[in-house]
Every structure is written in structure tokens, then in C-alpha cells.
Structure 1
Amino acid sequence: MFDWTGKNVVYVGSFSGIGWQMMMQLMQQDIKMMGIMHRMENVEMMKKLQAINPSVKVVFMQMNLMDKKCIDQAMKKMGQMMGHFDVMINAENVLLDKDVETTMGMNLTGMIHATMMAMPYMDKTQMGLGGMVVNLASVYGLEPSPAFAVYAGAMHGVLGFTRSMGDKMIYQKTGVMFMAMCPGLTTGEMMMNLRDNVTWHHSESMVEAMESAKRQMPEEAATQMIKAMEMMKNGSMWIVNMGQLKEVMPTMHWQM
């Protein structure tokens, strides 16, 4: 069971959705520092977060996931402030298939850059003490999504990166474990404009099915994700859907 006491947590994501609900819940733990990294600060939400636990130092660092130089500078500043990172949660999630660059950049490329630039502050052979990286993906990283093919491509990439970084050899050397969370349909901003964000205009029936399907609340998904994190299973992937948590056991199709 993971012990949250005295931990430095870095959150890369927006002030809404599952990721933000995870931050709200983690503030109830006895952590040391909470670092929020995003393009724009939401002062009211930061105050709300701090009010949950005044003993935790909450800081904000502006960072644009579409700008590699900005990511590098922001991560170095956060590293100097915290000294080391114990937990990193990559929770930025954008559904905008008609803008391929943004969809891939925010969901995948930016996440990879941020993770690799954070590693020196987690890697026990450098400035870190070991730790945990949690990447929020989607069930569409496990299965095809004809209506949102670009988004699905990015999510498949997130899982491929997470599984690769979660190799036992990397963990043995760095002390950093990797996990991926794959939530099902969840109430939130991403579900509001589905018809405007499809890959193709042939997706009406698929979007209708998604709009009418039952959805989970971000709060319940966040609770299940924290449970999965506390299991500390390196390289694992978890489906989080309707209050249920299920580990994904991938099939090996090829091996050297």
C-alpha cells in the first residue's frame, strides 16, 4: 500500500475532470506539496484546493504542453521548488480530432516531454528518490474509436509509452513505476461537443450512441484511480468505469 505521507505530488492537467477530482481527494492525504502545472491558472479553484488542507503547500506553475522549451523551463522551476517529485499525474485530455496537432500534442507528445523532463527529479540515480508516474488515457486507448480516430491514436500512444516505461529493468534502475488509467465515458466538458470534434462526418450514429450512453461521475472515477495507485503495480493498466476497477492484462503478440 502506497504511503502518501510527506509526498511531493506534481499534477499536469486542467482544473476540471477526473484529474482535478484526484487532486481534491489527494489533498485529504498527509502529503507535503502539491504542484499544479497548466496553461492558465484558476485562482478560485486553487483557493478551493488549498482550503481542503492548509498544511499542504499548494503551488502553481504555468506550462504549455505544446511548447517543449516551456515544459523544460517549468519542470526545472518546479524541481527547484520541490527538490524531488514523488508522484506525477499526467491528466491533460483533449478531444479535438479536427485539430490533429493539438490532439496529439496535448495528449501524447507534450505528456512524453513533461514526463522525461520530470524523470531526473524522480530517478533515484539522479535527484530523485524513486516514485510513481500515472498517465490518464482512455478505454479508447484499448479499443478502436471510428468517430475519434486521432484521439484513439493518441490514447494508444499513451498506453504504449506507459507500458514501455513500466518495464521492470527501468524500474529497477530508477525506482520510478508507471501506471495508466483508462476511464470509460465520464460526465464532463469533453462530452459536451462531441459532434463538433469527430474525425469524419460519417459518425452521426456513433456519436448518438455515446451521447445516450450511461456515464460515470469524475469523482467516482478519481476514487477508483487512487485505489489503483495505492496498489503500486508497475506497468499496470486499469479500466475505470461505473465505480469499478479492472486491471487490463495485455496479450503478447510478438517478442524478441
Structure 2
Amino acid sequence: MCDWTGKNVLFASGFSGIGFQMMHQLMQREKLKMLGIVHRMENVEMIKKLQAENPDVKVVFMQMNLMDKVSIEQTMKKMGQMMGNIDVLVNCEDVLLDKDVETTIGINLTAMIHVTMKAMPYMDKSQMGVGGVVMNMSSVYGLEPAPAFAVYAAAKHGVVGFTRSMGDMHIYQKTGVMFMTVCPGLTNTEMMMNLRDNVTWEHSEHLVEVIESAKRQMPEEAAVQVIKAMEMMKNGSMWIVDMGQLKEAMPQMHWQM
């Protein structure tokens, strides 16, 4: 099980949704050392609210453009140097804009890869780190097809593939860094608004109607389960978080060397 005592936790996340609810809940861990947030826009009021929840935990925000590799590199270097080492990295930036392929792939997948690789020197026990955990936010659409949101599904399948690959035992033995991915089901977040405007193509009306009428979990209850999955400390694992319940997703092997 994960011990949060003295840990530096870094979120690549906005100020809403599951990621922000995770921050709230982690701030209740009295022994946490530092909470870092990197995002394209600062929300001063939300940062103050987080800090007020636990004055003993230092909350730090740095602005970062997820569509700019140089911005990611510079920001992660500053954050890593400030923290000294990064114990936990949570990548939970999430956008659904299928008509904008570059942004959908860029934020959901490419940025996640860049952030992770730039954090690794401050996590890798063979470099400046002491090991740790990387939790990458995918989706149930990273496990199954999403005909209405094919681009989003492609990005989230990429998140699963990257995380499982980085969770290889050889990498863990060298770095001490565990990789895990969580796949939330339908969640009542801002991303669920205006679904009809964000489909891959126009032949999706019925598919969107089904999604809009389906039950959704609340971000707060999903966050509880994501943290629980992280605390399992199971390298290479995939977890489905749906309707406030946690279940491990077991991959099926189709090919092996």
C-alpha cells in the first residue's frame, strides 16, 4: 500500500473533474509534503481553497502549454528542481474535441507522453529520483471502441498502450517507477457537455443519445476509487472506475515474442 508521508505529488490537470477532486482528497493526507499543479490556466481561488484545506502541504502552480513540447520541458524541469524529486505523477488532462484531431491527440496522448518522460529524471532512482508511481488517466473508451468519438478513443487506447509498455518489469527494476492506468466510465464532468458538437462525424446522433441518457458517476466518487487504485501499487495494472466502483481490467494477450 502507498504511504503518502513526505511525498511530492504532481498533477498535470485542470481545476475541475476527477483530477481536481483527487487533489482535494489528497490534501486531507496530513503528511503529504508538496502538491504541484501544471496547467495552461491558473485558477487563483481554487489554489487558495486547496491550500486552506491543509496549510502544512505546500501547493505550487506552474503554467504549462500542453501543446508545446518546449513549454512542457521547461515547466517540468522547474517543478522537478523545486520538488527535488517527484514521487507521484498524475496525468489527467482530458479533452473531447474529435473534429480537432490535433488537439484531441495532442492533449490526451502526446502531452501525457512528454510530461511523463520529462518527469522521469526526477523519479528514476538511477537519476535524481527515488522511484515512484505514474498514474495515467485513460477511459473505458481506451479499452473499447467509441464509434461516436473515434479520435478520442484512439488517443485513450494510446494512453493504455504507453502505460502498459512503461509498466514493463525491466523498466521498473531499473527505475523504481511503477506505471498504472485508470479508465473511468461516464462521469458528470464539463467534458460531457455539448457532446453533439464534438463527434467524429455527423452519423452519430443515435449513439450520442444513448450516451446522454446513460447514468453517470460523480467526479468525487470516481476520485476516491482512482486513489484507491493508486494505493494498490500494482505496476502495469489497468483499472476501470465506473459508477463509483473499482475493478481491475485484465488484458488479453494476442501476440507474444
Judge same fold: TM > 0.5, yes or no.
yes
Mapped partners of 2:111, 2:193: distance in 1 = 24
**Which runs of at least 4 in structure 1 moved beyond 6 Å after TM superposition?**
none
Structure 1: segments with no counterpart, 5+ residues: none
Please name the residue that 1:83 is paired with: 84
Q: Deviations over 1:197-245 (max 9, x none)?
A: 0001000000000000000000000000101111100000000001110
Please name the residue that 1:20 is paired with: 20
Q: Deviations over 1:97-121 (max 9, x none)?
A: 0000000000000110010000000
Letter in 1 for 2:15: F
- Whether 1:174 aligns to 2:199 is no
SS state of the match for residue 228, structure 2? Answer: helix
After TM superposition, give the deviation of residue 56 of structure 1 in Å: 0.2
- Whether 1:224 aligns to 2:225 is yes
Please name the residue that 2:7 is paired with: 7
Mapped partners of 1:192, 1:201: distance in 2 = 17
Please name the residue that 2:116 is paired with: 115
Q: Deviations over 1:112-166 (max 9, x none)?
A: 0010000000000000000000000100000000000000000000000000000
SS state of the match for residue 75, structure 1? Answer: helix
After TM superposition, give the deviation of residue 184 of structure 1 in Å: 0.2
Letter in 1 for 2:66: L
Structure 2: segments with no counterpart, 5+ residues: none
Mapped partners of 2:20, 2:3: distance in 1 = 20
Please name the residue that 2:59 is paired with: 58
Letter in 1 for 2:51: Q
Please name the residue that 2:34 is paired with: 33
Letter in 2 for 1:13: S
Mapped partners of 1:193, 1:47: distance in 2 = 30
Q: Deviations over 1:19-38 (max 9, x none)?
A: 11001100111210000000
SS state of the match for residue 235, structure 1? Answer: coil
Mapped partners of 1:149, 1:19: distance in 2 = 23
% identity of equivalent residues: 78
Give the alignment's TM-score, normalised by structure 2: 0.99
Please name the residue that 1:133 is paired with: 134
SS state of the match for residue 61, structure 2? Answer: strand
- Whether 1:69 aligns to 2:70 is yes
SS state of the match for residue 34, structure 1? Answer: strand
Mapped partners of 1:153, 1:25: distance in 2 = 30
Q: Deviations over 1:70-109 (max 9, x none)?
A: 0000001001100000000000000000000000000000
